[in-house]
């Protein structure tokens, strides 16, 4: 990665190391870690720092508490317990660490309480960042999933840090995603689903210049169909973005980029009742119908595109895959991506949920831990706040 050091490029023996991780994990009602995916992804960096005899301070956020207010519901206590069990050591959970000196010895690990309990975190306060920066020798960001946010421990803190770099997960994320926009973009395919065009306009505009084919799915596809003059019944679409969708269609044509929309769909008059659904051509959609999935003719077209693609980017399901009756398109897509010969990258919460439901997640070349960061990385061509902060000179 250009102008960003990796943790193993520093001498951290006996040094105080601030590890900004993303341990924002779901918890059970009993306040036990329900899904440890993000924690496990950060363990290599944690273990490396401990093996190098560093004094390790782990920092993360959890949930969305009111800034500056302690709330037990968002405490990192369950995460600390998980790390104690996994690493086989006692770990202190430190409150009020933004102003007070943190006590941590070489070879020791402490967890700093939820960063969002501190005033200045959400507001990206440079003064608070400068105070915290005096407490450590090396700043390491291994929280790619938060890399798109201008929050103090992600943005201002590295700006105020003399020695800074990233962890192994952050490095792997950036390098894996960067492969999609490599030296050549011939036969690069992007699958973009989800509910809204509005949240992905910038992404689509960038992709039109970078890929040879875009497959639009979900509610996003409905807006494009409406923009193309098709009747879509009572299907969800964004009326305010019809003109934007038309511009995307025009850009695709002028850039000679394929924009694939469904030509047969599964519809229902009520998504809560799965017995009355049926597959229809676009000109057969009724006034009370809602488009809830792709049909087999469309999936045959998509199959050919995936089999010929040398790079595949996937973000968003094709339909309401949570319901079995409307899962065909997304299930078929997951299986096609699994068998693809090209380099495959996926990201986003719904996408990962679909992958876990239908195929082995290990079948893809890379699945990102980021949602918003995953999208913004492509939208802004890698120029997101955490990356720029790590590349910058110290601002003190």
Topology (CATH) of 182-379 = Rossmann fold (3.40.50)
Residue 395 above 80 pLDDT?
no
pLDDT of residue 198: 87
Catalytic residue among 20, 38, 160, 311: 38
Catalytic (active site) residue 16:
no
**What tokens were used for 379?**
């939208």
Burial 300-320 (b: 16+ CB within 10 A, else e): ebbbebbeebbbbbbbbbbbb
Tell me the C-alpha distance between 296 and 24, whole Å. 38
How far CA 90 is from CA of 80, 84, 332, 372, in Å, comes to: 9, 6, 46, 34
The region that residue 381 occupies, defined by phi over 0 for left and psi between -120 and 50 for alpha, beta otherwise, is left
Residue 396 above 90 pLDDT?
no
Residue written as token pair 């659904």: 277
- Mean pLDDT over residues 233-246, rounded? 94
* Percent of the chain whose predicted confidence (pLDDT) is above 70: 97
pLDDT of residue 183: 62
Query: Is the Cβ–Cβ distance between 62 and 114 less than 8 Å?
Result: yes
**Mind listing the pLDDT tens digit for each residue in 21-42?**
999 999 999 999 998 989 999 9
Residue 184 above 70 pLDDT?
no
**Mind listing the pLDDT tens digit for each residue in 146-170?**
999 999 999 999 999 999 999 999 9
pLDDT of residue 235: 95
Domain spans of the chain?
5-172+382-391, 182-379
The region that residue 213 occupies, defined by phi over 0 for left and psi between -120 and 50 for alpha, beta otherwise, is beta
Burial 4-35 (b: 16+ CB within 10 A, else e): bbbbeebebeebbbbbbbbbbbebeeeeebee
**Mind listing the pLDDT tens digit for each residue in 346-373?**
998 889 999 999 999 999 999 998 888 9
Catalytic (active site) residue 349:
yes
Q: In sequence order, which ranges of the chain are alpha helices (DSSP H)?
A: 37-51, 77-87, 126-133, 156-159, 168-178, 201-210, 218-227, 242-254, 296-308, 328-339, 349-358, 372-379, 385-391
- Tell me the sheet residues that pair with 263: none
- Mean pLDDT over residues 38-50, rounded? 96
Catalytic residue among 14, 182, 286, 349: 349
Task: Report residue 86's pLDDT band, with 50, 70 and 90 as the boundaries.
Answer: very high
Task: Report residue 285's pLDDT band, with 50, 70 and 90 as the boundaries.
Answer: very high
pTM over 0.75: yes
Tell me the C-alpha distance between 172 and 166, whole Å. 10
- Mean pLDDT over residues 4-8, rounded? 97
Handedness of CA 257, 337, 300, 264 (dihedral sign): negative
Residue 234 above 90 pLDDT?
yes
Query: Is the Cβ–Cβ distance between 7 and 49 less than 8 Å?
Result: yes
Catalytic (active site) residue 382:
no
**Mind listing the pLDDT tens digit for each residue in 112-145?**
999 999 999 999 999 999 999 999 999 999 999 9
Topology (CATH) of 5-172+382-391 = Rossmann fold (3.40.50)
pLDDT of residue 329: 96
**Mind listing the pLDDT tens digit for each residue in 324-334?**
999 999 999 99
Catalytic residue among 196, 234, 258, 338: 196
Helix (H, G, I), strand (E, B), or coil: what is residue 145?
A: helix
Say if 5-172+382-391 and 182-379 have the same CATH topology: yes
Catalytic (active site) residue 370:
no
**Mind listing the pLDDT tens digit for each residue in 286-303?**
999 999 999 999 999 999
Looking at every residue in the chain, the average pLDDT score rounds to 93
Q: Is 62 exposed, middle or buried (CB count within 10 Å of its CB: 0-12, 13-18, 19+)?
A: buried
Query: Is the Cβ–Cβ distance between 169 and 41 less than 8 Å?
Result: yes
Residue 228 above 80 pLDDT?
yes
**Mind listing the pLDDT tens digit for each residue in 100-116?**
889 999 999 999 999 99
């Amino acid at each position: 990665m250009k102008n960003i050091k990796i943790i193993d490029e520093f001498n951290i023996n006996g040094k105080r190391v601030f590890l900004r991780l993303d341990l924002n994990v779901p918890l059970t009602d009993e306040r036990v870690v329900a899904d440890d995916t993000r924690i496990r992804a950060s363990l290599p960096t944690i273990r490396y720092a401990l093996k190098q005899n560093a004094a390790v301070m782990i920092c993360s956020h959890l949930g969305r508490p009111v800034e500056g207010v302690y709330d037990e519901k968002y405490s990192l206590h369950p995460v600390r317990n998980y790390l104690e069990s996994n690493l086989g050591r006692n770990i202190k959970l430190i409150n009020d660490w933004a102003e007070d000196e943190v006590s941590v010895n070489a070879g020791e690990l402490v967890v700093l309480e939820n960063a969002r309990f501190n005033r200045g975190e959400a507001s990206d306060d440079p003064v608070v960042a400068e105070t915290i920066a005096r407490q450590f020798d090396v700043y390491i960001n291994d929280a790619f999933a938060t890399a798109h946010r201008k929050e103090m421990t992600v943005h201002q803190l590295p700006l105020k840090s003399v020695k800074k770099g990233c962890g192994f997960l952050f490095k792997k994320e950036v390098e894996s995603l960067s492969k999609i926009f490599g030296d050549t973009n011939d036969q690069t395919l992007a699958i973009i689903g989800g509910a809204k065009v509005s949240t992905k306009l910038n992404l689509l505009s960038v992709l039109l210049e970078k890929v040879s084919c875009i497959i639009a799915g979900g509610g996003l596809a409905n807006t494009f169909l409406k923009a193309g003059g098709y009747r879509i019944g009572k299907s969800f679409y964004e009326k305010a973005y019809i003109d934007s969708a038309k511009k995307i269609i025009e850009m695709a044509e002028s850039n000679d980029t394929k924009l694939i929309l469904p030509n047969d769909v599964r519809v229902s008059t009520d998504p809560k009742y799965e017995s009355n659904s049926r597959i229809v051509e676009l000109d057969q959609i009724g006034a009370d119908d809602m488009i809830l999935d792709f049909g087999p003719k469309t999936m045959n077209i998509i199959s050919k595109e995936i089999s010929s693609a040398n790079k595949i980017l996937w973000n968003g399901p094709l339909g309401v895959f949570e319901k079995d009756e409307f899962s065909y398109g997304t299930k078929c897509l997951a299986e096609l991506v699994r068998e693809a010969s090209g380099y495959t990258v996926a990201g986003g919460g719904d996408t990962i949920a679909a992958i876990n439901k239908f195929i082995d997640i290990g079948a893809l070349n890379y699945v990102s831990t980021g949602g918003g960061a995953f999208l913004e990385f492509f939208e802004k061509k890698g120029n997101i706040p955490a990356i720029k902060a790590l590349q910058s000179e110290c601002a003190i």
